[in-house]
Amino acid sequence: MTAVLLLNIACLLTFCLPLAELCKLAIHPKAPIVEFGGSVKLNCTSTCTNYTKMDWEVSFERDVQEGEGWISLNIKNVTEWTTQPLCVAKFKGSGSIHTRAVIYVYQFSNPDIYLASEIESGHSDKIICNISSLRVRDQILPNVNISLSRGAILLNSSHGEPSLEYSFVPNLIRDDKTEIICMAQVEVGSEVLNKSATRTLNVVASPYNVSVLANPMMYKADAKIVVKCEAEGKPFPEFSWDLPSNSSVEYSNNIQILTIHPAQSFHNGTYRCLARNIYGTKSAQIDILFQERSRSWIAAVVVVALLAVVFTGGIFWYHCRK
Ligand SMILES: *[C@@H]1O[C@H](CO)[C@@H](O)[C@H](O)[C@H]1NC(C)=O
Ligand SMILES: *[C@@H]1O[C@H](CO)[C@@H](O)[C@H](O)[C@H]1NC(C)=O
Ligand SMILES: *[C@@H]1O[C@H](CO)[C@@H](O)[C@H](O)[C@H]1NC(C)=O
């Protein structure tokens, strides 16, 4: 034991140390980042040429090229997650120097955005962004950040997870046709790699904002009445009606408008419009009221008759006074 130690010290003091001290090794690139299965070429250079041998120490079959003061290592297919190739220069006797490269092997697939092909307005739903394969060297969960945004608005973000979820209640006006962007950043060695994915939201909606308008709402016999149903929805709704009477009713504008002409007393009643698409049906209604012309006509006749009586009575009385 002591003998070995002394021998080592002797060696260091005589020629190993001076030789080794004069010489330096450098690898370029020193910490390359390589995708799993990819290739990389490392070049080891020496500041001196008086070594007896320069070499790469690796656990797999070497593919090297060398010249004076350098030796390069070619790795065509990086399949070891934690490779750290060692470059060694040996000197006369047992002296040697070495330096190590660290290869940052990684796997980082494009993010996938999962969302229903049709999202229904007002019904809670979720968007998932997932990175199916993600690894950096021996870190199963590397330093990863994921964010989900709608246009420029950040919806949710996560750190250290390969997947991110966003729950929401879609709104036709706010969300339809907007872009959902998932961005992922992974730290690999000294670099930060970016990948992103984009999907467009397709929001559908059962009919809403259904209303019925009638002009006029009160009518007399033979009048012309126009009744209109308005609704929104995606796809745009189809219309149908529940009517007090179907006679002398005409439809137009894809059954959205109905015209009654001439209106009769039997047209009096409740007009119900149904707006329908594949996601649902909604209705609205209006009362259209018939006003009997006869009564006002009788009233007018009575008033005129009374006035006539008063007038004639007045004249008669005037003549009698004379
Ligand atoms: C992720 O975000 C955290 C906090 O904002 C930050 O410190 C970290 O550097 C980010 N990592 C990457 C890979 O961008
Ligand atoms: C109905 O329409 C009005 C404006 O026309 C709008 O403000 C409102 O949000 C709509 N209702 C729904 C449920 O979208
Ligand atoms: C007209 O219809 C309304 C309901 O919409 C009803 O209350 C009213 O009695 C009806 N009038 C006539 C004259 O039928």
Q: Atom 1 in ligand 2: which residue has the minimum CA distance?
A: 209
Distance (Å, whole) CA 114 – CA 32? 33
> Is 230's C-beta closer than 6 angstroms to any atom of ligand 2?
no
- What spacing in Å lies between the alpha carbon of 147 and ligand 1's midpoint? 11
pLDDT at site 13: 45
Q: CB burial class (10 A; 0-12, 13-18, 19+) of residue 230?
A: middle
Q: Atom 2 in ligand 2: which residue has the minimum CA distance?
A: 209
Distance (Å, whole) CA 35 – CA 37? 6
> Is 287's C-beta closer than 6 angstroms to any atom of ligand 3?
yes
pTM of the model: 0.73
Q: Is 197 helix (H, G, I), strand (E, B) or coil?
A: strand
- What spacing in Å lies between the alpha carbon of 209 and ligand 2's midpoint? 6
Q: CB burial class (10 A; 0-12, 13-18, 19+) of residue 286?
A: middle
Helix (H) / strand (E) element for 181: namely strand 179-188
User: 88: which 2 tokens?
Assistant: 């060694």
Atom of ligand 3 nearest to the CA of 268: 1
> Is 81's C-beta closer than 6 angstroms to any atom of ligand 2?
no
pLDDT at site 32: 95
Per-residue pLDDT of the chain in tens (322 residues, 90 and over written 9)? 454 444 444 444 444 455 556 789 999 999 999 999 999 999 999 998 889 999 999 988 889 999 999 999 999 999 999 989 999 999 988 789 999 999 999 999 999 999 988 899 999 999 999 999 999 998 878 999 999 999 999 999 999 999 999 999 999 999 999 999 999 999 999 999 999 999 999 999 999 999 999 999 999 989 999 999 999 999 999 999 999 988 888 999 999 999 999 999 999 999 999 999 999 999 999 999 999 865 555 666 667 778 877 777 777 777 767 6
Pocket test for ligand 3, best of 243, 245, 289 (most atoms within 8 A of CB): 289
